[in-house]
Amino acid sequence: MPSPYRAIFAAPGSTAFSLAGFLGRMPLSMMGIGIVTMISQVTGRYGLAGALSATLAASAAVLGPQISRLVDRYGQRRVLRPATLISLAAGAGLLLCVQQQAPDWTLFLFTAFIGCVPSVGAMTRARWADIYRGEAQRLHTAYSWESIVDEVCFIFGPIISIGLSTIWFPEAGPLLAAVFLAIGVFWLTAQRATEPAPHPRSAHGGGSALRSPGLQVLALAFVATGAVFGSVDVVTVAFADEQGHKAAASLVLAVYALGSCVAGAVFGLLHLKGEPSVRWLVGVCAMAVSMIPLLLAGNLPLLAVALFVAGLSIAPTMVTTMALVEAHVPRTQLTEGMTWTGTGLAVGVALGSSAAGWVVDASGAEAGYVVPVASGALAVAVALLGHRRLRRPVPTREGQSGREHDTALGEERADERHMA
């Protein structure tokens, strides 16, 4: 592991909560695509599969920020454990309904309650932010590491989920995702030493972090970005099915995540200068342009190459987004702020999955790749229109921006560690 990554794990407890966060995030890449594969295996209806995946994403989008707001107020352990139990119970209900061929409305009901799943990535990033507050370079490396973890989940998660559901039995992928969620969340919340201190309602007046104009831009742009991700997943499974190699969809989607993982690893080693808002704008534009070659991929090998190239812009854009969230959201609402970007992605995944499923059912898989292309263009439009808002960080009561205040604190902490 390169030395900058080695350095961030010098903090006590960091390795343990990162491993727990990895397990807890595996369902992020397994559950949605697992539901798509499971339903398409059992019913052959991609429209229903995409609609259920969209329901899961929409539910997580509605419930996720509320859970994270409670986490900021009461702490991770007190909130995440009961929320996870609700999600697990709903997942069990969904699998039982699928096995018993229950009416469609029961599938939507249980899928909606699965959305209580907490944003584990936001929880681990909040721990890094608490440890390295104000130390910009180490925090950049930590966020890059978390992006690598995300992509490793998306490399192996679909392979495991699709593979188990196609080779073993249809419910196997979502079932294993639930097991990962239970282990990851309960292990993470058992680690109290690195848990950020909760902040009472009086610390921020009970208002939402989404009042920040900068966060509004990031969340809205990520709706379009999420539509890219959701539609690519659904259309790729359908495309592989049309080619007669449905199980290969997991490998193709893993290549997509691999491109992002490689880019994230390199990005974390860089010492960056200049405005993060400019880097973010460039990243959104690159993601949009990289969707165009998908329209020309006529077979699975060419599609895999196109998706690898498309993945190269994902992790750097996500890392920069986390830095912008930290600059535009009060520290007492950081977990909620990070979750709102995930919420934007979830809403987009819901819209993109549904749209892609309908297009595939109506016109075939190749036509379905029009959806991520159009979604990428929308993301660029939002980013261009809202870019100016991202250049004004949130001020503190003392008149400094949150970034300036935390940088000063970080310098003091670094000095203390050096003297120690």
pLDDT number for residue 392: 66
pLDDT number for residue 381: 92
Report which secondary-structure segment, H or E, holds 417.
helix 402-419
What residues form DSSP beta bridges with 401?
395
Contact between residue 327 and residue 401 where contact means Cβ atoms under 8 Å apart: yes
Instruction: Find all residues with CB under 8 Å of 224, minimum gap 6, and list them.
Output: 348, 375, 376, 378, 379, 382
Please tell me the pTM assigned to this model: 0.73
Is residue 85 very low, low, confident or very high in pLDDT (cuts 50, 70, 90)? very high
At 282 the three-state DSSP class reads: helix
Domain boundaries, the chain: 3-196+208-419
At 360 the three-state DSSP class reads: helix
Is residue 362 very low, low, confident or very high in pLDDT (cuts 50, 70, 90)? confident
pLDDT number for residue 338: 81
43: number of Cβ within 10 Å: 16
Residue 213, Cβ density class (10 Å: 0-12 exposed, 13-18 middle, ≥19 buried): middle
At 330 the three-state DSSP class reads: coil
Is residue 198 over pLDDT 90?
Answer: no
pLDDT number for residue 158: 74
Is residue 145 over pLDDT 90?
Answer: no
Integer angstrom CA distances of residue 4 from 124, 139, 264, 326: 18, 10, 13, 21
pLDDT number for residue 204: 47
CATH architecture of 3-196+208-419: Up-down Bundle (1.20)
412: number of Cβ within 10 Å: 11
Average confidence (pLDDT) over 329-353: 79
Average confidence (pLDDT) over 207-236: 84
Tens digits of per-residue pLDDT, 95-114?
Answer: 898 888 888 889 899 988 88
Instruction: Find all residues with CB under 8 Å of 91, minimum gap 6, and list them.
Output: 31, 110, 114, 174, 175, 177, 178
Provide the token pair at 138: 């180490």
Closest CA to 120 of 179, 188, 74: 188
Is residue 406 over pLDDT 50?
Answer: no
Range of weakest confidence among 105-119, 155-169, 279-293: 155-169
Contact between residue 396 and residue 203 where contact means Cβ atoms under 8 Å apart: no
Average confidence (pLDDT) over 127-142: 82
pLDDT number for residue 212: 80
Q: Which residue type occupies 284?
A: V
Is residue 140 over pLDDT 70?
Answer: yes
Write the DSSP string, 55-122.
Answer: HHHHHHHHHHHHHHHHHHHH-HHHHHHHHHHHHHHHHHHHHHHHHTT--HHHHHHHHHHHTT---HHH
Is residue 394 very low, low, confident or very high in pLDDT (cuts 50, 70, 90)? low
The length of the chain, given as a count of residues: 420
- Tell me the average pLDDT of the chain: 81
Is residue 196 over pLDDT 90?
Answer: no
